[in-house]
Amino acid sequence: MTPVPRNRFFAVGIAALTAMLAATPLHAQDKKLVLRVADSFPQGHYLSRYATKYWMETVTAATKGGVEFEHYPAEQLGKAKDLLALTLSGVTDVGYVGPSYVSDKMPLSAVAQLPGSFATSCEGTLAYWKLAKDGILAQTEFAANGVRLLFTVVLAPYQVGTTKQKIDGLKSLEGLKLRSTGGALDVVVRKLKAVPVQIAAPDVYEAMSRGTVDGGVLPYSSLFPYELHKLLKYSTIGENLGSFVANYVISEARWKQLPENVRKAMEDAGEAATKRACALVDKDQDVDTERLRQAGVTLVKLPPAERAALAGLMASVNTEWAETLDKRGKPGTEVLKAFNETLKRTR
């Protein structure tokens, strides 16, 4: 038998030791715990600055340097749609999970993405946070998938923007291919008699520039990180066509390996990061509106009759969404009711 070189045994031993340490509670290592955080946002994205970076720094400070993080943005560890699976498998310790990207596993979280439900990021965020941490979504969406929510932000209400087509009423949107995140937003786009095309945020620029889609339904704040403001010519203003939920989760298996002080630091930081992020997103709305104007995007305020017609179309989306989930054996109506009641209490 050919002998295996010593350096190979050494390499295997180091790899095994590294894996063992990564799975060992902090108090047993008597050294720093380094955790991986992965998402799909580009470097400098506002959600990374407002929430992710803040959360990591807060946890590190609270543990007096005992916990540090390696951040992998821009899909470095995997595509947005795969980050839930990568978090469960341990490729990353903390992963960004947009429920729309895994709508087969987290369909009920789309309740915070329905049109007309709330006027600001913080209204939607705080209501969703309550249900996802301590309410019905904590069990049906997170525990059921083997993960725990660490922090979240629900974006400001979405607008519809187009790359070529002038927006002068609802009729002008008919037949257009519009980028959607799936789930409830698909229903919204169909109500406009347009065609929804599900595309993850990092791929939207290419789709718009190639003409794969004629525009999309997006919040103003998400246009700039992906340079979509350079492609859009028209956008609505002051409408509420839904939203998007951005969650950061950790697997229950990994959570149970962490010592109590680290869990406490993560929970406290998560609460603070969630409230901070939505407040900053809301603060940015006026600034983003002016930036779009400066970029040459024509912002269209629909006339009263058109706005009333749009409101009528959107009013039926929520009920249809809930009833569709009910038929699938999911508590859609129950979740919708809980979300609306929580919205009233948190306003």
Tens digits of per-residue pLDDT, 28-55? Answer: 445 799 999 999 999 999 999 999 999 9
**Residue that the structure tokens 């009423």 belong to:** 169
β-pairing, 67-72 vs 177-180, is unpaired
Is 324 a residue whose pLDDT tops 60? yes
The percent of residues in the chain predicted with pLDDT above 70, rounded, is 91
Kindly list the domain boundaries of the chain, sorted by start residue.
Answer: 31-154+244-284, 159-241+294-346
Residue 30: the pLDDT is: 52
Q: What one-character-per-residue DSSP string does 181-249 give?
A: -STHHHHHHHHTT-EEEE--GGGHHHHHHHTSSSEEEE-GGGTTTTTGGGT--EEE-S------EEEEE
**Residue that the structure tokens 């979509």 belong to:** 228
Give 66's contacts (C-beta < 8 A, 6+ positions apart).
26, 32, 33, 261, 262
Helix, coil or strand: residue 312 = helix
Tens digits of per-residue pLDDT, 229-240? Answer: 999 999 999 999
Residue 5: the pLDDT is: 40
Is 347 a residue whose pLDDT tops 60? yes
Residue 346: the pLDDT is: 84
C-alpha 299/C-alpha 49 separation (Å) is 27
The dotted CATH code for 31-154+244-284 is: 3.40.190.170
Tens digits of per-residue pLDDT, 17-30? Answer: 334 434 444 444 45
Residue 325: the pLDDT is: 96
State the average pLDDT over residues 187-214.
96
Is 163 a residue whose pLDDT tops 50? yes
Residue 74: the pLDDT is: 96
Sequence length of the chain is 347
Residue 27: the pLDDT is: 44
Ranges 44-48, 85-89, 125-129, 313-317: which has the least confidence: 313-317
Cβ atoms 108, 141 nearer than 8 A: yes
Residue 114: the pLDDT is: 96
The band of 4, judged by pLDDT with boundaries at 50, 70 and 90, is very low
Cβ atoms 131, 138 nearer than 8 A: yes
The band of 315, judged by pLDDT with boundaries at 50, 70 and 90, is confident
C-alpha 323/C-alpha 317 separation (Å) is 10
State the average pLDDT over residues 59-82.
98
Domains 31-154+244-284 and 159-241+294-346 share a fold: yes
The percent of residues in the chain predicted with pLDDT above 90, rounded, is 88
C-alpha 341/C-alpha 45 separation (Å) is 32
Dmax over Cα atoms in the chain, in whole Å? 85
Residue 328: the pLDDT is: 97
C-alpha 223/C-alpha 182 separation (Å) is 18
Tens digits of per-residue pLDDT, 102-133? Answer: 999 999 999 999 999 899 999 999 999 999 99
Residue 183: the pLDDT is: 81
Mean pLDDT rounded to a whole number for the chain: 91
Is 286 a residue whose pLDDT tops 60? yes
The dotted CATH code for 159-241+294-346 is: 3.40.190.170
State the average pLDDT over residues 329-347.
95
